[in-house]
Chain A
């Protein structure tokens, strides 16, 4: 035991923090995508697990073929948009439940992502050979680039969801019946929301692959759960810090902060020399707890058990 603790170096943990921030910013951008579907449209979209890998695969293959990385990231983002449209059309035009539509897209993307990467499970893109937007080898610039991307995405989202179209999209997620009565094409809004969401996730995937120096067909596994974790951690922190003053821009900012916090927790788990393979289980437990708390709080106020106890106590008197 003593040997275990003496092997833990606090300085070692601190030295890893900058990398946490860089990676966390990227996951934060992905979480913003998850926020669009999960919170604004009220759909849990599982296609993002595939879209994240797609973003990385498309960007890396294009950069390796000699394309400018900025253009490659743009095209990767557009591929994400297209995936979102497919999921959206499966859901709205073919009547497949949203969760299942996402699973189908994700499943198909595994093959498609492999095909994009010449049927190899991963493809390297070395920062020594190619000009990349960000790389783990240049941490400071990676953090700045990640931050700039996050700020731009938040600003654009803040603007868009304040427009007529963005308001219509939010109304669709909140109350479909009312939206239709106000002349909103809710199917079009759902497809649009899924496209925006997957576009952002693919953007994050494209950045992540450059940061890591390779695209991996499995890189997106669990993206939805990590995205949800970031959204939930961010919201809890945001509400604790700002309470009712938390506006939309603040919410989005805290979602990105949630992504960073998630990565710090991940790093601490590694630092404690726990098996990183257990991380998925920890993440699932964290998300389950945070999703359950609001429900259980409501139940505590309004439960049969409480009513039963009350009635017995009254009788005893």
Chain B
């Protein structure tokens, strides 16, 4: 479904701020894989997701989604294959537009946008059904401006939007990191439901090792721009946080330094 082949990216090459972010990442996802991604700060987790999304061109290597080589396509042209949820709840939705308008924009991801009405009556009915699943009461507020919603509500809406047109791959970039623990849990629950019900292939970056272990069928760890650990199947089910910390120290030769990951 998704294949990264020796993907490399260096930021600010040739300057004092040069940062090698991805040093030949290789990754292959099967259809229906739900992969959690962990790693220390600067390991390249978000960079990898941005490379897949096409935020900027990669320096080397290739990215293939569902058999299509997308390496040469800018983000908006890849969008029909990809659903994205960002860390900042403000990023995924248009604040000055209504809930139904946001959903309608997402419902046309990858399609030609012409001079037909932006939101149709049939869509409204569908949106109500979809919003009910979130259990946030948003189905009664279709015409409310998204800017009036809380961060958690916006993130749940973004999630729904990302999956509205079934994406070949769903990219979740620490999408619960900016939420309070209770809301984060709710959004994670919604994530689990949506991925399971639509059989989506997903990559979820998280700082929380426990979440990384609980969710998904596969876990990868990144360090200094490489995938250093890839655990799936039965092995993943028996994984503990201690195992992961131990593994991290072994592969990186240093202690896992993120307070966020240890405390949560």
List residues of chain A with CB under 8 Å of any chain B CB.
Answer: 160, 162-168, 170-171, 174-175, 177-186
Contacts and interface: CB of A to CB of B under 8 A. Distances in A.
Given A177-B91, A178-B91, A170 B76 contact: no
A182 B116 CA distance: 18
25 contacts: A160-B115, A163-B114, A163-B118, A164-B116, A165-B114, A166-B118, A167-B104, A167-B113, A167-B119, A171-B94, A174-B94, A174-B97, A175-B93, A175-B94, A178-B92, A178-B93, A180-B76, A180-B79, A182-B79, A182-B105, A182-B108, A183-B80, A183-B110, A184-B113, A185-B76
A163 B115 contact: yes
B95 interface: yes
Interface in B193-248: none
Given A180-B79, A185-B76, A174 B117 contact: no
Given A163-B114, A164-B114, A165-B113, A186 B91 contact: no
Interface of B: 53, 75-77, 79-80, 82, 84, 86, 91-97, 101, 104-106, 108-111, 113-119, 161
A186 B76 contact: yes
A181 B117 contact: no
A200 B96 CA distance: 24
A160 B118 CA distance: 9
Given A184-B105, A184-B113, 8 more contacts: A160-B115, A162-B118, A167-B97, A167-B119, A170-B97, A179-B105, A182-B108, A183-B80
A182 B84 CA distance: 9
Contacts of B53: 181
B165 to A, nearest CB: 9
Contact of B75 (A162, A171, A180): A180
Contacts of B96: 170, 174
Contact of A175 (B95, B110, B111, B114): B95
Contacts of B113: 164-165, 167-168, 184
A164 B117 contact: yes
A177 B173 CA distance: 14
Given A175-B94, A178-B93, A182-B108, A165 B115 contact: yes
Nearest to A184: B76
A182 B109 contact: yes
Contacts of A175: 91, 93-95
A75 B34 CA distance: 57
Contacts of A181: 53, 75, 79, 82, 84, 92
A177 B54 CA distance: 12
A36 to B, nearest CB: 14
Contacts of A170: 94, 96-97
Nearest to B76: A180
Nearest to B75: A180
B116 A163 contact: yes
A183 B106 CA distance: 9
